[in-house]
Amino acid sequence: MPIVTDVNKEKFQEMISNGKIVMVDFYADWCGPCKMIEKQMDELSVEYEDRIESCKINVDLNSDLAAQFDIRAIPAILIFKNGKMVAKHIGLRTKKDLKNDIEDVL
């Protein structure tokens, strides 16, 4: 069962405004690479549970958020710090790459 949960626009805004680092996975149910990155996101959310928050946003259900952050391809991993986007990566990434992204922000 996935650990990183889906959020809507309101919950997302709440998460990024709380001052913590937030890693967001923009995805779609029909996206094969999105399914592949899900396990890595879950593992990292456990590994960094005391330092970051993680969530995922379905682009089909939240097209306004996808447009707001210029998401044109998925999976798209965005990292926010103090409410501002500090990293954006499009496409499938390894767990090591994602971990490096988190460490760069920490």
Q: List the catalytic residues.
A: 31, 34
Secondary structure class of 24 (helix, strand, coil): strand
Alpha carbons 98 and 48: distance in angstroms, whole number? 12
